[in-house]
Structures are given as structure tokens and as C-alpha cells.
A and B are shown apart, each in its own frame.
Chain A
Amino acid sequence: MQVSFNINGTPQRVEVEEHTPLLWVIRDILDLKGTKFGCGKAACGACTIHVDGEAVRSCSFPVQFAEGKNITTIEGLGTGDALHPVQQAWIEEVVPQCGYCQPGFMMATAAMLEKIPNPTDEDIDNNIVNVCRCATYYRMRKAIHRAAEIKSANL
């Protein structure tokens, strides 16, 4: 089927089998490799993107439901050359180790901050439930608080 949507501000139309997970459309057809495959079963969060501002695990989101939606991936998280506050905070705190899970965490964090601009530790525990095997959680928590600060200072 044909599906049309906006991705990172650009309209796209793809011809693809309707059940195809959005993840593979993003990675293999649109060649945006920042969204990662970890499990394919909505269990790790490596593939997290935004669909109309909501954090979504794209490996388990059939492309047909993307029709007419606004999609953001890590490549479109910042504005132009400027990094998003979450990415800035991630750099300040030197969060990534292997880095593979990190786009998913940053996307989940950015979506959370839109709803909870000043998250408590408990908010973070409840909303950030992706898996990081390098276990960078300690720095991520600091970076999430820092991102909230940068974001509110920018307002």
C-alpha cells in the first residue's frame, strides 16, 4: 500500500506492505539509521521515535498507522544544526558507552520532558524503561535532570 507522512519535517510517500513495522521503513527505505533494532518486540526501546509527539516503539508499529502522522527520529530531534537539549545534556554528562541504545533513550526522554518538564527521580523511573546493556543509567539520570534545566532555561 501507499503511506504518506511527514518525517523530520519532510513529507514522504512510501510503497510498502501494510504490516511492515515502521522501523524498517525508516531504516531501510528512508535510510535513517539512528533508530535502532534491538528486539523487534517492543521490549527494549532501542527503536523509540515520536509519532505526533508520543514516544512509540517503531518495531511494533505497523506502517499503515503512520498515514498522515508527524514522525520524528533522532536525526530530526534537534533544530537545524542545533542539538536538542536532551542531546546537549547527553554530551555534557558524557552518557554513551557503546551508544547503541542511546537514540532510543534520548527520544523517550525528549517525549517525557514535553509532558513532565521537571521530572522527579520517580517520574524518570516510571517513564524511562528502555534497556541499556552498558548500564549507563547513572549518567542518564543526571543527563535527564540536566536536559530539563537546559530546556526550561531556553524557554
Chain B
Amino acid sequence: MSQSETKEKKGFSRRKFLVRSAVGVGVLFGAGYLSRPLWRRSLAGFANSVDAFYSGDTETPPLWFEILADNTITLLSPKVEMGQGTFTSLAQMAADELEVDINQLKVVHAPTSSGNIDGFSTGGSTSVASLWVPLRELAATMREMLKNEAAKMLGTEVSALTLQNGVISGNGKSLTYGEIAKDVESWEIPDVPPLKDRSAYKYIGQPVPRVDLRDKVIGAPIFGMDAQMPDMLYGSVVRPHLIGATFVSADTSAAENMPGVVKVVVEEDFVGVVAESYQQAENAKQAIKVTWETEKNWQLADIEAMVEVGKGDPVTIQKAGSPGSILSEADVITAEYRSPIGAHAQIEPNGAVAFVDSDRATVMISTQVVSITRKEVADRLGLDVEQVDIRPTYLGGGFGRRLHTPNAVQVALLSRAVGKPVKCFFNRKEEFQNDTFRPPTHNVLKARMDENGLIQAMEHNISSGDVMFGSALIPGIAGTLLGADVGAWRGGMIQYGKIPNYQAISWRVKLPFATSWWRSLGLLANTFAIESFMDELAIKAGKDPVQFRLDQIQDDEAGHRLREVIRAAADKAGWRDGVHNGRAMGFAASTDANTPCAHVVEVSVEGDQIKVHKVTCAIDPGLAVNPDQVRAQCEGSIIMGQSAVLYEKMTVEDGELRPVIYGPYRMALMRDAPKEIDVVILENADAPGAVGEPPMGPIGAAIANAVFRLTNKRLREMPLTL
């Protein structure tokens, strides 16, 4: 995609403000986004660069800011907060242009009734990047509107006004934003003013503490699981434990008379029960006997046999030169890598509180896709979307799991059946067996090197279950449009542009259970494969693995940024190859969503235990709006990645996905986490880019590469096992 297209895509040519009185609370400011990006262009752009795009509602002018009489400002965020720190970054961006103290701002989730709805999702590490320009433009425009009114009220020129902490002074008097907004009846809408220069930022670029820090430390009831409504009942839905099971019928007789049961609800595709307490609903659910229909009694071997390069439909996603002919010559090096089924395992289970009245539905829920959640509820209930209000809450972890929220529909149906608000959520076994898993993968790499130890040709074949295809987030047309699953091949392209001949090929596998978005999508497995292979090649060529990579990166801007993070990580870690004092370093790098990232890990092996002591990470997310939260995301991403690489694995037995509980589904704990994580932030781009996922890319290969130095064993299958 060309630069000008990118600009046009993100820009909003005309701007129409809506200003209206809110009942008792001051004034609401909003802006109508008039250029919903065409799906085609957005998707193609997303596929190409994983570039952030913002897709807001265009029909009703959405509300962004609410100025209250006490001179605080509420920012209604169309993006949800799931731990990634977006609310804090948005507050920093808005405070700088609004000229308010950041503590005067309160960021809340925009309910869909506000009209401020992100048509896409919160995910893909795009929240801050996609709102970087639009949010600051809105804030700056609002500031100018307030100044214009203040000038009239204070009887002076706009140019004579001074601004500080939401107070405008001039002509010897002062007015707060709250006082100004209260008395304005009709607003002039100015052109969008120029945005502040970087040197004028007070908050952007600073390690401001998270705006949700205190709430999260005192245990405030901010999550979907904590939501409640007056007179609320508890629901429970019978969820299939078998792969591919569809609901046929239910014997509910025993459940009907259980204590506390208000109603057993049988719908065409599920059965649920509503009771007075959570325990009563769960107990009654156990008494319902469901007949499921399944296609087959699946075993792990069936699944493994499907995920195999060479099976299914290949699509070439990247090609340069003529790798095919070179790779059919002699001396071709080949290696195969695998990754297992991964569970999201976010600690807050999926759940919602819903209340369906005669012609209205309200749903409080942890969701990453507010607009899809709304549409699905509206469609199933036969309501217009305007009759449904989705009120997003803080998420107890997202990681992609909450890009699918059909459970909102089920809770709404339970509420409709009893005419009261109902709360219903998954138990942990249901979470593990009804997840939208990270798909298993098989990667085959081939390369041929020349006499100087440089790669002459390289090929990457990726076989993966679906990530993007089949997701409600992406229109069905995407398959035809793109040919291959962008999610599955994320991170699968070859980033060493000096290699004269290369190609990447994606093979689609349709699995019998749902696979989908899991933090970083294909990046984790694809980079594990490519960067392990690069290490194998460097060793074959007798070269230092860091230099081996630097030598084969092209000389454009992306190449420059990648080289810089590689050098920064190696320098900071004091990179040296080989085993020293029982520890070895491992190196890997990748670029994801335009953010390059490199890790040096320090590993030891005790018996069959792989221990990660230290990770040095260099990342270039462009402008770091909040360097402390960039660090936090790197730390979390690194340890979550380590967890997936070293411990996590779902299996299939007798038609079921297992295990169904933490512990047996082994994840990184305190004792596993590296004691040192050193993050170096480079800012070789002007705007903020992706942060939450890119650091997951290199972690797997970096660990495997270190383990090879310690044991001479090349581990090519996740979870890495000695």
C-alpha cells in the first residue's frame, strides 16, 4: 500500500461535531467519522503491513468527551482495556492536546449507545496507533472550541488567552472548561488545528502510571465478572465437551425441580438454566442430560495427520527471484518445526450480564468486539442494533479470546426467557473445551547457501489451522480476497531482504474445532521456525548468528530499523556465542506489524529442565507513548511466550480437548519467570506502532537456540522438551 493511501485511510476529510446537553452532567462532544474504510482496502492494508486502521461507526455522530461541572473530562474510549495499557496512552494523548492535567481525565469504556463504536476490534496491537491522529485531532478541536467560547465570555481575543489545567484565563478573569461548557448553547466548529509538536508534549513519551492502577490494586469491581443489575438471576448453559458436537435435544426433567431453579430454557442450539444463585444454576445444569451429535471420536493423531505441509491448498504469500529452481539443486538444508494447540487460559472466564426488555437489550460484557457483539445479539433477538446497548467492561485478559462472544447471545436469550437480568459465565472446564484455540502448526524450511555462507535461496512453508478465516471479525469475502489466512501467516514472511531468492507458502488446514486469534497469531510459531532455522544456517556457515542476520538484511527503512534492534539487543546483553559458566545465550529477531524486536536470552539446563535466567529485549515501536507500559508489555509478552514455548500444550483424547484445568495445562508461574528482563526501547519512527505482540515473536527461537548450544540438541517442536 502506498503512503498516500495510508494517509487517506486514516484521515477524516470532513468533520462534524455534535454538541448536545447531557442530562445534568454538562456537555458531550463528539465527531462523526465520515469515511468508513472499505473493507477491501482496509483488509488488504492489514494483510500487507498489519497496519493499524480505525473503523468507526459513520451513521451516528459518536461521543468522545464529556465535560463535567467539576472540570473533569470523561473520555469515552471505543477501545477496551484488557491490560495492554491503552486507556493510559489515550489519556496521555488527550491530556496533551486538551491542556488538562491527566488526573482531570477519566477514561471509560464507551457503551454502544454513545455511538462511539469501533467497527473493527481491540486487538492486533493497533489501539494506540490507530487512534494516534484521530484522538489528538478531536481533543485539539475541542480545546479550540472552548477557547472560542471563552474569548466571548471573557471579552477578549482568542490570541490573548492562556490555558492551564483546564482553566482558560484572559482579561484578568478565569473560567474552567466545565463553566464554559455549561453555558454554551451553540458551538462554532473550527477547522482541525495543527497538532502539537513533540517538544510540547507533557505526557506523551512519559512513564505515566497506569490510569487504572489504583482500581486494580484495591480490587474495584471493574470486570465483566463483577457486573450486576438489580434483581439479577444466575444462568448456566450446557456447553459441549466433545469436539464438533451439535445440540440435538435435552432431557431437563430432573433439573426443573432442583432448588432455586427459575426456568430451564431450551433453544434450538443450546439448553440453559436460570436459578436464584450461581451454585443452584451450576447444580441444575449438571442434572440436564443433553444428546449431542458428533461426527467422529477425534484423537490427537487425527489432528496431527491433518497439519502437514503438502496437505490442503497452498497459496504463495511472498516471492522474490526464482527460489524453486535453486532449491531443487544439491546441498539444500531442510528442517521442520511444529507447535501444538494452545489455549487462551485468560483468568477471567467469558461471561456477561444481560437484561432483555420488550424492545431493548442491555449487555455488560468483557468483549474485544463491541460492534459484533451488538450485532449478534440484535440479530438473534430480532432487534435493531440501536435497541441493543453493549456496555463493555474491563477485561480480565483478552489475548484474542474475546473476539468471539456468542455467549452474549445466550445470556440475552436466558434473560428474555425469565424477564429479568441474568448473569452467566463459563466454568473453567468449559473455557478449556470451548476455547478458540491457537492452531497447531507445521513449518518446513529449506535453504541453500553459497560458498561465502550467504543464503542464496530460502523457502518457508506454513501449515496451520485457521486464525482469521471463519472469525466473525472478518467478512466471509476475505478468503476470496486474500487467498491465504493473514492471521496464520503473520510473522511467516522472510525478513532478510538481501537473500536473492525466497518464497513463503501458506497451507490451509480446516480443523474440527475452533481455532482463531491468540496473542500474536501466527507470529509465535512462524518466528520460532524461521529464527531457529536461521540459527541452524549460521552454525552451518560457521558464522556468528547475530552477524549472519545483519549481513542479510536489506538496506531500506524496515531493514535499518531491524538492524538497529538487533545491534541494540546484542550490545546491551553483551552478546557472546558459546557456553559460559554453564549458561548459553540464544538470539532471535523478528518484525511484526512494523515493529522490529530482538531478544538475547540467557539459559541453563539442569537435568531435563530448561531455565531462562535473563532476557534482553530491544524493540522499536516508533514513538513510545508510555515507555513504562511498553516495558510492561514486553515483559508480559516475553513470559507468556516463554510459557507457550516451554510448557503449554492441549491434546485431543476420545473426542475431547484436554486438559481442562490450570496445572495440568501447565503455564509459566513465578518460579519459571526470568529474574532479569532488560528492555531497550528505540524510537526510529515518528508515530506509535505495535507493542503488545511483537515481543512474542523471537522468544521461542531464542530459547531453542540457547538450548542447542548447551546440549547440542536442536529442539524443533513446541513445547521444547529435552
Interface residues of A (CB under 8 A from B): 17, 20-21, 24, 28, 33-41, 43-44, 46, 73-75, 78, 83, 87, 90-91, 94-103, 106, 121, 124-126, 128-141
Contact = CB atoms under 8 A, between A and B. Distances in A.
Contacts of B677: 138
B198 interface: no
A74 B214 CA distance: 12
Contact of B223 (A100, A121, A132, A136): A100
Given A34-B219, A128-B670, A133-B640, A101 B347 contact: yes
Nearest to B639: A135
B219 A91 contact: no
Contacts of B481: none
Given A24-B277, A91-B214, A98-B82, A43 B661 contact: yes
B219 A74 contact: yes
A128 B397 CA distance: 20
B278 to A, nearest CB: 6
A62 B225 CA distance: 21
A81 to B, nearest CB: 10
B63 interface: no
Which of A38, A44, A101 is most buried by chain B, counting CB atoms within 10 A of its CB? Answer: A38
Nearest to A106: B217
B516 interface: no
B26 interface: no
A20 B278 CA distance: 10
Contact of A133 (B217, B667, B672): B667
Contacts of B83: 96-99, 134
A8 to B, nearest CB: 11
Contacts of B399: 133
Contacts of B99: none
Contacts of B662: 38-39, 43-44, 131
Contacts of A103: 219
A137 B639 contact: yes
B663 A43 contact: yes
Contact of B394 (A17, A24, A99, A132): A99
A35 B347 contact: no
A141 B220 CA distance: 23
Given A98-B394, A99-B83, A138 B669 contact: no
A133 B427 CA distance: 17
A102 B428 contact: no
Interface stretch (B162-170, B205-213, B530-538): B205-213
Interface in B107-124: none
A38 B279 contact: no
A38 B348 contact: yes
Contacts of A34: 218-221
A50 to B, nearest CB: 13
Which of B347, B398, B640, B643 is most buried by chain A, counting CB atoms within 10 A of its CB? Answer: B347
B85 interface: yes
B170 to A, nearest CB: 39
Given A41-B428, A91-B217, A20 B279 contact: yes
Interface string B634-677: 01111110010000000000000000011100011111111101
B345 interface: yes
User: Interface of chain A, helix or strand or loop or mixed?
Assistant: loop
B277 A102 contact: no
Contacts of B643: 135
A24 B501 CA distance: 61
B397 A125 contact: no
Given A38-B349, A97-B632, A133-B667, A102 B217 contact: yes
Which of B84, B216, B226, B277 is most buried by chain A, counting CB atoms within 10 A of its CB? Answer: B216
Interface string B229-269: 00000000000000000000000000000010000000000
B435 to A, nearest CB: 13
B37 interface: no
Contacts of A78: 218
Nearest to A104: B347
Nearest to A135: B639
A36 B396 contact: yes
B628 interface: yes
Contact of B217 (A39, A96, A97, A130): A96
Contacts of B638: 135
B347 A137 contact: no
A98 B212 CA distance: 9
A134 B226 CA distance: 19
A74 B344 CA distance: 26
Contacts of A17: 259, 279
Contacts of A102: 216-217, 219
Given A35-B219, A36-B348, A97 B85 contact: yes
* CB-based closest 4 A-B pairs: A34-B219, A100-B396, A98-B83, A99-B216
Nearest to B225: A37
B217 A41 contact: no
B670 A125 contact: yes
A9 B675 CA distance: 37
Contacts of B345: 131, 133
A7 to B, nearest CB: 14
B74 interface: no
A22 B427 CA distance: 17
Contacts of B663: 43
B226 A33 contact: yes
A135 B279 contact: no
B422 to A, nearest CB: 14
A28 B425 CA distance: 14
Contact of A129 (B220, B277, B670): B670
B395 interface: yes
Contacts of A73: 219
Contacts of A20: 277, 279
27 contacts: A24-B277, A24-B279, A28-B278, A33-B226, A34-B219, A36-B347, A39-B428, A39-B661, A39-B662, A40-B427, A44-B662, A94-B632, A96-B216, A96-B217, A97-B83, A98-B397, A100-B397, A102-B219, A106-B217, A131-B662, A133-B345, A133-B397, A133-B640, A133-B667, A135-B668, A138-B674, A138-B675
